[in-house]
Each structure stands twice: as C-alpha cells, then as structure tokens.
Amino acid sequence: MIKLSFNNTRNLLEKAFVNYRINREARKLADSLINIEVNSFEDHVSKLLFNILSYAKENVPYYREVMTDIHLNKKKVFSNLKDLPLLTKEIIRAQGQAMYSGDFDRVFGYWMNTGGSTGEPLKFPVTTNFELIHQKCLYILMGGTSKDVIVAVDGSRVSDGLRNADTLWNMGSENFPYGSVHYSTLYMTDTNLSRYIEHLNEIKPSLIRGYPSGLEKIAKYLLDNNVKLQFVVKGIYLTSEYFDNSNAEILRKAFNCPIYGQYGHSEVSVFAFTLANSLEYICSPLYGFTEILDENGNHVKEGESGEIVVTGYSNKVMPFIRYRTGDTAIYGGSINGVVKLKSLQGRTVDFIYNSDNKKVYLIGLVFGGHLKSFEKIIRWQIEQDFPGFIVIRIVKDTGFSNFHEKEIVGLFESIGVKPELQYVDDIPLTQRGKRKFLIQKINESLL
C-alpha cells in the first residue's frame, strides 16, 4: 500500500481542485459561447478591458506615459481604447523593460517566445492566464472527456536515440491539453507514414490536434492506400497553420470526424475557434478584445478584410494592448460582445524544399526547434532559389555568438538543407510595407 505524505496529499488535492475549477469554468464557457445570440458578454468585456487598461496605466511605465492625458472611464472604455496607439514588436524592443509591470515579481508567471515564424522573434514575460480553461472549452465542444487520449501532430524534435530505435514520436508528460503523444512533421516521409498509422491504431486516440500540413499527410496516406482506422475519432483540432475547406474535407474523409479550427498566439491575447466543420471563428470575449483594422487604423465593416489587432486581459506582467498581429481576417461582425471572423487569411503555410525535393514546413521547424538563438535575433528572413539550399539574412541582437550560429545551421542541416548565413543591418520592406519571412523562388511545377 502506498503511503502519502501530508505534502503529497496536499499537492494531489490542490491539483484535483484546479482541475475541477478548469472543468467547471470551461463547461460554463462552452455553454455560453454556443448560444451567443441569447447570452450577452458586453458587460464582461467592458469590465475586463477597463481592468487591464487601468492596471497598465498604473503599473507599466510605457502605458503610464502613453495614457497621461487619457482619463479612463468604465462607460467610455471602448473610446479610451481607440485613443491608444497600436503596439508593434518594434515598439516593444525599443521600450525594453519599460513594457514590464512595476509589480513584476508578483504577477510574473513564465517566459514565452514567439518562435520567430514571422521573421521577428520575441521573448517576453507572461502572467498565468486563461489558456487551460479555453483549451478545455474547445475539447468539451468536441465532445471530449478527461478519459480521452489526445494526440498532437506538431513540430517537436525527436532525439536521435529514439529515431534510431524506430520511435518517431515523443511521449508527453501530461495528456491535457497538448497531448500524451507528439508526432513531429519534421520526420514524416512517404516511407514511414505506415508507422504512424500502426501507432495510432495501438493507442486509439479520441482527439487529435495539430498542424494541418502534418495531419493532411497522414490523411492522404489513409485515402490513397484505402486504409481504415481501427478506432473512432471524436474530432480533429487544427492550429498554427492556415487551412481552407479543401484541406478540412480531406481530413473529414480520412478520419471520418468533424474538424475544428483554433487561432491564438504566444502573446496570450486572442483565443478563437470554430465550431464543427466551419471556417468562421468565434473570438472568446473572456480572453481578449479583438479588432479588425484597415491600413489607416480604422475598424473595417462586416465582410471586409483587415489586420487582427488584439488586447489581452490576463497578461499583467507585460500587457499587449492593441497589439498588431500581422495576421489578416474577414470581419464577421460582433454579437453581444462576441467578435466573429468569417475566415482567416493571413496564416499561409510557408515551406522550403530539402535536398530530396521534399517540403519542410517552417511552422513546424521554427516552433518545434525551440532555439535559444531566437532570443538573440532582432529580425530574420529566409530565401530559397533551389532545393537543399537557403540564404538566411539575420539582424543580430546583442549577445549573438558562434553558439547561436551553429545552432541555426544545425537545425536546418538536420532536415537536409544547407544554410548560408548573411548578417545584415536590416531586412527591406516589400512594396506594401511589410517584411517577408520567406522568399520562395522555386516553382513547384518544375520539380
């Protein structure tokens, strides 16, 4: 019989209570968000928005200066918000610790990194937030329970030791929310996809989440080889990459289940999701405030396209207020305080070709690499003229060293691509005033 110490018993009880609270709040949120026509969130939104603006003005040096002449008012909080400038990564870099709360130690939770897929990696502090409640909410909408096995298809790197032992995946320490098994898009090939199918049939997951590109590879293998899975999938939850209805249809046919989309950021300022088999996103009104703005900073009309600009409610240690995401969407209007996006437009799947003419998706490589080098890069850009070779232009930050150079080279060489690193003072803008992360000059039809 196992004897538990007082501390172990207390830790188990605390964990059980936290799980109970997450499940309770997630179910309430799920019930509310599927009935937004009858449930009003407007009072909640104005209160949460007023709270984060008030906190930022009082505790964050940058916002204290920006809001000097702004008199916050609960009844005029949306007008107050519009009076604030848009926030960019350039401003965050220039302001440095002036972006941090003076109450840093009390509200600090952990450090996050954007990963650099936009070409401008950024490391920043985060306050413990509403993420787990929203993840659980989405699983509840998918019909999931705490007993369901979750599998992830992502960009995690699998050690040489595991791969030499013919294990192409990592085992997670926790099932919820990111999965107990992680299949990496970095190692999926036409010759080993059957191994993933065999393993799926062994563990029989009820829920699958991850990158559309990796899941589509598995789905096409199932369809092309007329392979049927030996278990029932309640739903697939797509994240981190753009997908359209044609991609979702392939997954629906192969896995015989509904498809859900999720959109969010490391900056913990937006959590949006679709209901089953829809491309329309619901932005959670309890996670952050979402605006869709045109090039002049004006809110677009319903049905028009604009940039997604977000204000997070939970991150007190470094508030993201009117943060420009760089992503675009078609505005779907607002119902009772809930913003809807008719579709996402700005998350295209960038990829490069390795020496075997195989596509390597950068979202998996970049986010799965977890490189320390991202902390020492101000901006970077990749250009490819032919398979197996790329030029990487890097604007170095203070402290960039040979270690960081070797780390970047090693990451790309590990997937069959030789990188040439070029250190530059800046990355030029396109004619539309944007910086492209990837310049892909290879014509797929000529390969």
Which pLDDT band, with edges at 50, 70 and 90, does 12 fall under?
Answer: very low
Inter-residue contact 354 to 415 (CB < 8 Å): yes
Q: 337 with 363, same domain?
A: no
Q: 171 with 207, same domain?
A: yes
Gap between the Cα atoms of 356 and 203, Å rounded: 32
Gap between the Cα atoms of 228 and 223, Å rounded: 8
Residue 10 lies in a domain: no
Q: 327 with 365, same domain?
A: no
Which pLDDT band, with edges at 50, 70 and 90, does 35 fall under?
Answer: confident
Q: 113 with 182, same domain?
A: no
Most confidently modeled of 98-107, 243-252, 359-368?
98-107
The whole-chain average pLDDT of the chain stands at: 89
Has residue 20 got a pLDDT over 90?
A: no
Has residue 2 got a pLDDT over 50?
A: no
Q: What is the pLDDT of residue 1?
A: 39
Q: 206 with 190, same domain?
A: yes
Q: 325 with 417, same domain?
A: no
pLDDT (tens digit per residue) in 201-252: 999 999 999 988 889 999 999 999 999 999 999 999 999 877 888 889 999 9
Q: What is the pLDDT of residue 3?
A: 45
Q: What is the pLDDT of residue 6?
A: 43
Residue 215 lies in a domain: yes
Has residue 310 got a pLDDT over 90?
A: yes
**Tokens representing 13?**
């009880």
Q: What is the pLDDT of residue 431?
A: 56
Which pLDDT band, with edges at 50, 70 and 90, does 367 fall under?
Answer: low
Q: What is the pLDDT of residue 186?
A: 81
Q: 162 with 193, same domain?
A: yes
Name the domain boundary from 290, 325, 344. 344
Average the pLDDT over each of 28-32, 54-58, 325-329, 422-426 and give the range with the smallest value: 325-329
Residue 12 lies in a domain: no
| Pairwise pLDDT comparison (118 vs 338), residue with the higher score | 338
Report, in angstroms and rounded to the nearest whole number, the Rg of the chain calculated over CA atoms.
22
**Tokens representing 237?**
């939850």
Q: 215 with 359, same domain?
A: no
Q: What is the pLDDT of residue 244?
A: 80
Q: 410 with 435, same domain?
A: yes
Gap between the Cα atoms of 57 and 76, Å rounded: 16
- Name the phi and psi angles at 73, rounded to 5: -140, 130
Has residue 355 got a pLDDT over 80?
A: yes
Find the farthest-apart pair of alpha carbons in the chain and give their distance in angstroms, rounded: 71
Has residue 171 got a pLDDT over 80?
A: yes
Which pLDDT band, with edges at 50, 70 and 90, does 11 fall under?
Answer: low
| Domain containing residue 364 | 351-446
Inter-residue contact 13 to 4 (CB < 8 Å): no
Has residue 363 got a pLDDT over 80?
A: no
Name the domain boundary from 256, 272, 298. 256
The pTM score is: 0.82
| Pairwise pLDDT comparison (443 vs 99), residue with the higher score | 99
Q: 251 with 269, same domain?
A: no
Residue 136 lies in a domain: no
Name the domain boundary from 256, 287, 317. 256
- Which CATH number is 426's domain given? 3.30.300
Q: 159 with 305, same domain?
A: no
Has residue 374 got a pLDDT over 90?
A: no
Has residue 17 got a pLDDT over 60?
A: no
Has residue 119 got a pLDDT over 70?
A: no
Q: 57 with 120, same domain?
A: yes
Has residue 116 got a pLDDT over 80?
A: no
pLDDT (tens digit per residue) in 282-302: 999 999 999 999 989 999 999
Residue 149 lies in a domain: no
Residue 372 lies in a domain: yes
Gap between the Cα atoms of 417 and 427, Å rounded: 22
Count how many domains the chain has. Answer: 3
pLDDT (tens digit per residue) in 377-423: 888 899 999 999 999 999 998 999 999 999 999 999 988 999 999 99
Q: What is the pLDDT of residue 222?
A: 96
Residue 312 lies in a domain: yes
- Which CATH number is 299's domain given? 3.40.50.12780
What are the residues whose beta carbons fall under 8 Å from the beta carbon of 24, sequence distance 6 or more?
Answer: none
Q: What is the pLDDT of residue 446?
A: 66
Inter-residue contact 306 to 282 (CB < 8 Å): no
Please report, rounded to a whole number, the percentage of residues in the chain having pLDDT higher than 90. Answer: 64
Residue 148 lies in a domain: no
State mean pLDDT over 339-351.
Answer: 76
